[in-house]
Amino acid sequence: MKIFKVITFFALLFIANTTSAQSTFEKWPSIKTFHEVISQTFHPAEEGNLEPIKLRSEEMVQKATALSTTTIPTEFKTEAMLESIKKLQLKTKSLHEMILAKTTNAEITKTLNEVHDIFHEIVGLCSEK
């Protein structure tokens, strides 16, 4: 019986966490759109393929800008969130400029990792509620 309670607890915890992430993307379509671009560029870069980010860096800047120009759900709109969005906008713009300037792959990878970290910071701010 005790094992059943433990399994049930962890199952409910898993469902709550999954639902939380899904509802963030449902409530804030712009974050979902940014996630699509970051996942389709960051994961190939982890394997050494920078072509996706080189082709889509301008799109990433546009999606980062959309985070503040579209409606941010009230429960996510905090000072910390606005600051993190601003950091994301600046870092994506910097990344795009680096790509246009044909900066080294190592520098591009480093900056893309920073963009990815800021994105996770934003998602974390959404789930703090």
Task: Quickly list H helices, the chain.
Answer: 2-27, 29-46, 51-69, 79-100, 105-127
pLDDT tens digit sequence for 7-64 = 544 444 444 444 455 577 788 889 999 999 999 999 999 999 999 999 999 999 999 9
For tokens 């429960």, what's the residue?
75
Q: Is the pLDDT of residue 2 over 90?
A: no
Whole-number pLDDT of residue 129: 52
Residues 6+ apart with CB under 8 A from 42: 53, 112, 115, 116
Task: Tell me the domain boundaries of the chain.
Answer: 28-127
CATH match for 28-127 among 1.20.120, 2.40.50, 3.30.1450, 3.30.390: 1.20.120
Residues 6+ apart with CB under 8 A from 32: 25, 26
Whole-number pLDDT of residue 11: 44
**Cβ neighbours, 10 Å, residue 9:** 10
pLDDT tens digit sequence for 51-103 = 999 999 999 999 999 998 888 888 888 999 999 999 999 999 999 999 999 99
Instruction: List C-alpha distances in Å: 55 to 50, 96, 99.
Output: 9, 10, 9
From 51, 41, 86, select the one nearest 68 (Cα to Cα). 86
User: How far separated are the first and last CA of the chain, in Å rounded?
Assistant: 32
Q: Is the pLDDT of residue 1 over 80?
A: no
What letter does residue 74 receive in the DSSP assignment? Answer: G
